[in-house]
Structure 1
Amino acid sequence: MRKPFEVGDLCFGRHPVLDLLRADPKRCLKLYLSRSAEEPFRRRVIAMAKGGGIPVQYVEMSFLDRLAPLSVHQGVVARVAPVTLLDFWEFVEDIPPSPEPLLVVLLDHVKDPQNLGAIVRTAEACGAAGLLLPKRRAALPTGSVVKASAGAVFRVPIVSIVNVARAIGDLQELGFFSVGLDAAGERSLFAGSLPERLLLVIGEESGLSRLAKEHCDEIRKIPMRGKGESLNVSVAASIGMYEWFRARESTS
């Protein structure tokens, strides 16, 4: 069963949605547009969404009626983040220069909001400079994530990326060493210290995507005993972040 959206996660109606796209498009995570929307409005809202890199899903009016019951949605509903997502290059401009130690975390299509919230909370505790999220096929910082993170999403820079592989490559060019966590890794996470300027790439329990693996400088695994095949993604992320943090603390 599809979980209902929280009230604060939605913006609906033609004028409110257009105002959102004009004034604060980075908060717009996704648009649901009726297949029967009038052509002039349809062209306008699609053009604005494309300009902001916002995914659009075409749906029936009945879907919107269920999504935003008791509202006058006029054939369009936007899913909205309670925080403004940073543009990748905006984030990069504020990164302290080398050789200052820095941790950036990239989530490779982690879909569960509770896991995302827990990861953001740990990222704040470990002093991560930012958390990178793809806008498609991934959990995004909605109200449930705010709650799971204990408000950390308001304090850790959350960065929107279009392409995981491209983001890894761009950060490598900026001097980051990328380590992906995956059960198929040949080297243990604990076999040698992690680089001081680290891009930690984390996927779902099923592992990293093929492209993420191909673009990372190194793939490491978290050694395990017992019969479990994998750790919960938020647990694995926490172990990876704290391994980097532990080394920095021991030398400070």
Structure 2
Amino acid sequence: MAGNSRRRGAVRKPGTKKGAVVGSGGQRRKALEGKGPTPKAEQRPGHPAQRRAAAAARRAEKVEKARKSKVEGPEIIAGRNPVVEALRADVPATALYVALNIDTDDRVREAVRVAADKGISILEVPREELDRRTNRAVHQGLGLQVPPFEYADPGELLEIARNSGDAPLLVALDGVTDPRNLGAVIRSAAAFGAHGVLLPSRRSAGVTAVTWRTSAGTAAKLPVAVATNLTRQLKEWAAEGLMLVGLDADGTADIDSLELATDPLVVVVGSEGRGLSRLVRETCDVTVSIPMAPGVESLNASVAAGVLLAEVARRRRLAGRV
């Protein structure tokens, strides 16, 4: 009889049939259950609004990490002249380290006197201890401890510039990795009337003890901000009406023909070796070079920035006299 044959393959083995044998297996009941209210667009995985919200959160997190990663802890300014200059410039110091049995001179006496007047702790330590704290820098028996540098937000720089009463002048650095160059640029920016300095979060020096030393304390007076994406920040400033002038050895013009000097301006300075990166160069409204004598290849990034900022300041002074 059909179906009763026991020969191989005539009857399905128990447990081999797929799906429910009797009834729906509860699938119909599950299909009738509700899934709750529809979540907001920002909470739906894969939705464009959710991707935008996640990207914004990641950018905010990167900015915060970038601001914290530039300096991990207190820094020590080493050397008699740098310490005295920092104290004169009201750098927010927390302690003055003086080596035991130091040979005193006018600089040591002034440093101790100014630190005492400002209420800064004065600590006498063995020279070996000061060597360790300064990473064996040439400290000459003096070290000034400063707290981690507090970076501004890029938006604050533009607000400060606009509230100054003058045409905004900002400086952006593209990959300057030497802290001495950074300190020199900050010093030049302050000397020639710039309102702030912008650093990228990656491939850039931060404000360290070496930067403090080179800037001669001006880092305490000029705001320095960190941008997660330098190109995007420059584009945002361009949308706010600022002109972007890139300093490049292969610039399309030289600084003698810089007619934009009196406009709201961002001076963009490239790294010591490769200059401006491609995206930053393409973002600039104009690129300029510095005329030099034959046989000279290029200038140090901080020197070149100082030359361009001095030319901008000169043209602005002349325009103010008209």
**TM-score bracket for this pair, using the shorter chain length:** 0.5 to 0.7
Aligned to 1:188: 254
Q: Distance in 1 between matches of 2:64 and 2:244?
A: 28
CA RMSD of aligned residues (A): 2.5
Aligned to 2:12: none
Structure 1 counterpart SS, 2:269: strand
Q: Distance in 1 between matches of 2:262 and 2:243?
A: 7
The answer to whether the aligner puts 1:227 opposite 2:309 as a matched pair is: no
Residue 160 of structure 2 contacts residue 195 of structure 2 at CA under 8 Å; is this kept in 1? no
| TM-fit CA distance, 1:207 | 1.3
Residue 81 of structure 1 contacts residue 143 of structure 1 at CA under 8 Å; is this kept in 2? no
Q: Which moved more, 1:166-175 or 1:193-202?
A: 193-202
The answer to whether the aligner puts 1:102 opposite 2:168 as a matched pair is: yes
Q: Distance in 2 between matches of 1:99 and 1:152?
A: 21
Structure 2 counterpart SS, 1:111: coil
The answer to whether the aligner puts 1:199 opposite 2:266 as a matched pair is: yes
Q: Residue type matched to 1:94 in 2?
A: I
Aligned to 2:112: none
Q: Distance in 1 between matches of 2:165 and 2:63?
A: 36
Bigger CA radius of gyration: 2
Residue 168 of structure 2 contacts residue 195 of structure 2 at CA under 8 Å; is this kept in 1? yes
**Mapping of residues 51-200 of structure 1, within 5 Å:** 52-54=64-66, 82-96=148-162, 100-193=166-259, 194-200=261-267
| TM-fit CA distance, 1:92 | 3.0
Structure 2 counterpart SS, 1:96: helix
Structure 2 counterpart SS, 1:199: strand
TM-score by length of 2: 0.53
**1:208 paired residue among 276, 281, 298:** 276
Residue 87 of structure 1 contacts residue 159 of structure 1 at CA under 8 Å; is this kept in 2? yes
TM-score by length of 1: 0.67
Q: Distance in 1 between matches of 2:147 and 2:239?
A: 30
| TM-fit CA distance, 1:91 | 2.9
Q: Distance in 1 between matches of 2:232 and 2:239?
A: 11
CA deviation digits over 1:229-248, x for unaligned, max 9? 11111110001111110011
Identity of counterpart residues, as a percentage? 38
Aligned to 2:318: 250
| TM-fit CA distance, 1:50 | 5.0
Give 1 or 2: higher strand fraction: 1
Q: Distance in 2 between matches of 1:161 and 1:184?
A: 26
Q: Distance in 1 between matches of 2:151 and 2:301?
A: 22
Structure 1 counterpart SS, 2:162: coil
Quick one: higher RCO (CA 8 Å, sep 6+), 1 or 2?
Answer: 1
Structure 2 counterpart SS, 1:52: helix
